[in-house]
Amino acid sequence: MKDSLRNGSLWSGSLWLAWRQQRVLVGIGAAVLAAAAAIAAYYRSGMLDALHSGLFDHCGTGPLYCTQPGTGLPLLLDTEPLKYLGTLNIALPVMIGVFWGAPLLGRDRELGTHRMVLGQGMSRGQWFASRIALAAATTVAVSGLLAGVFAWWWRPAADRSYGLFWYDSTALSGSGPRVVAAALFGLAAGTLLGLLARRVLAAMGLTLLVTGAMTLLLEWTHRTRLLVSAHTYVSAGSVPKPPMGEKWSTGHYGLITASGRHDDVLNCPFPSSAQLKECMAQHGYVARFYEANPVGDYWTFQWTDTAVLVGLAILLTAATMLLLRRRV
């Protein structure tokens, strides 16, 4: 290591050392990606064979199950392996933060090997930048490709009753740019906690808590529509409401008075019929409504989460840089 730092530039020596320390993790990331791609190719081929068989040709879009002619049983594709990949993508920031971010600086600090590296004339900034650059580049590549594999596998069965809808958590949080942003957040959180904690194992435990809590918090914002508001769909009088189709319902249905007040649907719990019309007239209701997010809001959720996670990753990385002089 000393020879590499002395004979080459400080930067090339630092990058070489970063590669030596992280090459096993890079290899694991490549292996996971290769395995996911192979599994996706196998199951997607079976999915396409089933769709091309004609068995699903009579199925329309929307959330209602498509049934088998004659038996009435629902027709479904095998999307469980696809959901497993989505779950892996959701868990990616936790795994990267715990097993890559926390030891990134924390291992050298715990063992004291950073003193030997810095003693060769390398600055703290170079020591940090070389390690975070390799880790971040690999994180972006692996997480981005895993998200791409999910999207490619999912596309033939997207938003169909026999497939997987965009608002399923494994699709909404396990695909798109959000996966990359979440992985970078996990890396940044683990790196900062590895710098702050005295022991790597303690940093790994703290990273597990922080990244896990952030993952659950974002899932909660999806369900509650905290960051992306639902749309209100109104139908005048007692005519049928606009079809739900591919929308993600909040479960909030109701009736509207002439003054614009929104009441619960249970005030007139009747289907579209003479009973419903009579009940609405008695209570002064002039319209019905429901709240839902249209399919286009998939990208609104994606970019909102991405902005939050990238912003946090930048802040955590900046905090790590500011604390380097005090902690190292």
Max mean pLDDT range (234-238, 241-245, 256-260): 256-260
Rounded Cα gap, residues 325 and 124, in angstroms: 7
- Can you tell me the mean pLDDT for 258-271? 91
pLDDT at 2 over 50: no
pLDDT of residue 160: 86
- pLDDT at residue 115, rounded to an integer: 60
What is the mean predicted confidence (pLDDT) over 55-81? 80
User: Could you tell me the pLDDT band of residue 288, with boundaries at 50, 70 and 90?
Assistant: very high
CB 191 within 8 A of CB 105: yes
Q: What percent of the chain has pLDDT over 70?
A: 90
Q: Which of 32, 121, 45, 136 shows the shortest CA–CA distance to 85?
A: 32
Cα–Cα dist 326/202, whole Å: 19
Q: How many other C-beta atoms lie within 10 A of the C-beta of residue 237?
A: 13
- Which is more confidently placed, 6 or 294? 294
User: What is the maximal distance between C-alpha atoms in the chain?
Assistant: 90
Q: Which two tokens stand for residue 175?
A: 């695909």
Q: What's the mean pLDDT when you consider all of the chain?
A: 89
The answer, yes or no, to whether residue 255 has pLDDT greater than 90, is: yes
In which residue are the tokens 């170079």 written? 126
Q: Which pLDDT belongs to residue 12? A: 60
CA nearest to 36, candidates 174, 145, 141, 177: 145
pLDDT at 142 over 70: yes
pLDDT of residue 13: 63
- Read off the pLDDT of residues 102-137 as tens digits, 9 standing for 90 and up: 999 888 787 666 665 655 656 777 778 888 999 999
What's this model's pTM, rounded to 2 decimal places? Answer: 0.89
Question: 61-98: buried (b, 16+ CB within 10 Å) or exposed (e) per residue?
Answer: ebbeebeeeeeeeebbbebebbbebbebbbbbbbbbbb
How far is it, in rounded angstroms, from Cα 242 to Cα 256? 15
The Cα–Cα gap between 83 and 189 comes to 26
What pLDDT, on a 0 to 100 scale, did the predictor assign at position 113?
64
Looking at per-residue pLDDT, the higher value among 67 and 9 belongs to 67
What is the per-residue pLDDT for 110?
74
Q: Where are the beta strands (DSSP E) in the chain?
A: 231-236, 248-257, 262-264, 285-293
Decide which of 62 and 323 is more confident. Answer: 323
Residue 222 to residue 229: CA distance in whole angstroms: 9
Query: So what's the pLDDT on residue 4?
Result: 46
Torsion angles phi and psi, residue 297, rounded to 5: -75, -5
Mean pLDDT of 189-204: 93
Query: Under DSSP, is residue 219 helix (H, G, I), strand (E, B) or coil?
Result: helix
**Burial class of residue 319 in the structure, from the number of CB atoms within 10 Å of its CB (0-12 exposed, 13-18 middle, 19+ buried):** middle
Determine which of 102-116, 224-238, 293-307 has the lowest per-residue pLDDT on average: 102-116
pLDDT digits (tens, 9 = 90+) for 45-62: 999 999 898 888 888 666
Mean pLDDT to the nearest integer, 301-319: 97
- Vertex 227, ends 192 and 262: CA angle to 5°? 155
Paired tokens of 179: 């996966």
Q: In what order do the strands lie in the sheet with 248-257?
A: 231-236, 285-293, 248-257, 262-264
Least confident range from 83-92, 164-173, 231-240, 310-319: namely 231-240
Asked if residues 193 and 104 have their Cβ atoms less than 8 Å apart, the reply is no
